[in-house]
Amino acid sequence: MKLWPSFFIFLSFSVMASSELDQRLLGYVKTFQLKPVSSPGEMNKNLFYLGRDLFFEKKLSGNKNISCADCHHPRTMTTDLIPLSLGEGAEGLEVTSGGRVQQKGKILLRNSPALFNLHNVNVFFWDGRVQWNPKTSEYITPEKLPSEFIPVLKNALGAQALFPMLSHEEMRGEKGTNEIADAPTAQKAWDLLFKRIMNVPKYKTLLLELFPGENLSIAHVARAISHFEEQAFYSGDSNFDRYLKGDLLAMSETQKKGMDVFFEKGKCGSCHRGEHLSGFGFHNIGVPQIGPEDNFRDDLGKFGLDPRPESMYAFRIPPLRNVALTPPYMHDGAFKTLSEVIEHYDDIESSLKNYVLIDDHKNYNVKLLGPESQMNEKKLSTLSKKLERNLFFTEEEEKALEEFLVGALTERRFLPLVRKSE
């Protein structure tokens, strides 16, 4: 009798998979190594709550005026919901249009990435400047990590948490405004920030209790923040996840057709594959470059760190879980909606050359500008070889594709939010 439930599930799965569409989709599952989001593992409650408090702690910024949460707040779905992020000196949350405002802050020139399901992601930032090899425990980071940090951080997410603290625009503040901004080295800046944290009795007590006998440092702060992020922002119950677990009725027919378009005609699986629907590679996909009129520059992407021809205008391929919750899209937030993203892939050359920035953002002190034609020509000449050209989706295909991205990839508890905004 113990074998009966397993046999029944297998039989049901086989019968349900008999439709031609489901057979194709299950083929994509194998080809593109699709699988449900894995669990981040067991929660350490004390470490979680410490990480939560530090995630919201403004003392980790030079001028004590910004925290991780200001650009990745849970209320704004772990991003800031504006095209170009605003750094230290900015105020507010984008819960209503124009809610986050520049004030004395800096415009950061790239979009703030979402934080969903990052517990086993090994490449961070749009240009990949933080990476971790789990097999060798080797890190690639903008500043070399002290050897004693390595066993503390555990993963790339922990390492990532250290570097916004060092950015003068993001959290550190301008030189001359505080001692962290004036610190001569990264290590000195981290030490000063850690001293601040240890001067808060509750933080000191918890760190000593959680890491007894260890030589405490800012790495332990980053470890706590990353533990909070991987637990709080774990999101593994979408219709797509349920489908991958064997419930072939979890996705609607339209969502299934959209998945078919995604992997077949769209060839999106070339870059969007695996558990996160991202291979975390870097590609130039011809995104229009926008920027503030007082500091508009040509963002070369990964080329700035890795000056090879294939790195020109190449940015990290983002994961797609909960993508409907985190507009605007691309490395600079150039597209406000998923429909615009789909239309861009439909005909990239036309999208880039005809892009018009509607600058109705109340968040910035200056105007945002769209790309110049010379910039577009350079970008088109170096497009990724993996990029499918001239897809020319039908209207029905576009609607199905968008329904897959929205209805299938969104955590089920968040679906009312995206449906309400449609």
**Of 346, 348, 328, 347, nearest to 338 (Cα)?**
328
Q: Which residues contact 292 (CB under 8 A, 6 or more apart)?
A: 84, 107, 109, 364, 366, 367, 368, 369
Under DSSP, is residue 329 helix (H, G, I), strand (E, B) or coil?
strand
pLDDT number for residue 10: 41
The DSSP secondary structure of 155-177, one letter per residue, reads SHHHHHTTSGGG-IIIII--TTS
pLDDT of residue 389: 84
Give the orientation angle of helix 201-210 with respect to helix 45-55, to 10 degrees.
140
Q: Can you read off the two tokens belonging to residue 35?
A: 């699988």
CA of residue 243 relative to chain centroid, distance: 23
Among 161, 121, 154, 142, residue whose Cα is nearest residue 281? 121
The rounded distance, in Å, linking the Cα atoms of 288 and 217 is 41
Question: What is the DSSP secondary structure assignment for residue 133, as one 8-state letter?
Answer: E
CB-CB neighbours of 421 under 10 Å: 11
Confidence at residue 422, expressed as pLDDT on a 0 to 100 scale: 64
List the domains of the chain with CATH numbers: 10-29+236-421 (1.10.760.10), 45-72+115-232 (1.10.760.10)
CA angle at 241 for the pair 123 and 230, rounded to the nearest 5°: 40
User: What is the CA 382 to chain-centroid distance, rounded?
Assistant: 24
- In terms of C-beta density within 10 A (0-12 exposed, 13-18 middle, 19 or more buried), how is residue 209 classed? exposed
pTM: 0.94
Q: At what angle do helices 201-210 and 186-198 cross, to 10 degrees?
A: 100
Q: What pLDDT is stored for residue 358 in this prediction?
A: 87
Return per-residue pLDDT of the chain as tens, 422 residues. Answer: 444 444 344 444 444 455 999 999 999 999 999 999 999 999 999 999 999 999 999 999 999 999 999 999 999 999 999 999 999 999 999 998 889 999 999 999 999 999 999 999 999 999 999 999 988 989 999 999 999 999 999 999 999 999 999 999 999 999 999 999 999 999 999 999 999 999 999 999 999 999 999 999 999 999 999 999 999 999 999 999 999 999 999 999 999 999 999 999 999 999 999 999 999 999 999 999 999 999 889 999 999 999 999 999 999 999 999 999 999 999 999 999 999 999 999 999 999 999 999 888 899 999 999 999 999 999 999 999 888 888 999 999 999 999 999 999 999 999 999 976 66
Helix, strand and coil percent figures for the chain, each rounded to 5: 45, 5, 50
In a 3-state reduction of DSSP, which class is residue 303? helix
**Helix or strand run (H / E) with residue 283:** strand 282-283
d(CA 111, CA 351) in angstroms, rounded, equals 20
Tokens of 296: 């508009």
Taking the CA atoms of residue 139, residue 145, residue 148 and residue 153 in that order, the dihedral angle to the nearest 10 degrees is -50
For residue 9, the model assigns a pLDDT of: 42
Cα 62–chain centre separation: 25
Distance of CA 395 to the CA centre of its chain: 29
Q: What is the pLDDT of residue 17?
A: 52
The set of residues, in sequence order, having a beta carbon less than 8 Å from that of 342 and lying 6+ positions away, is: 393, 398, 401, 402
Give the separation between CA 409 and CA 143, rounded to whole angstroms: 35
> Coil, strand, or helix at residue 131?
strand
- Calculate Rg over the CA atoms of the chain: 22
CA 382, CA 299: separation in Å to the nearest integer? 14
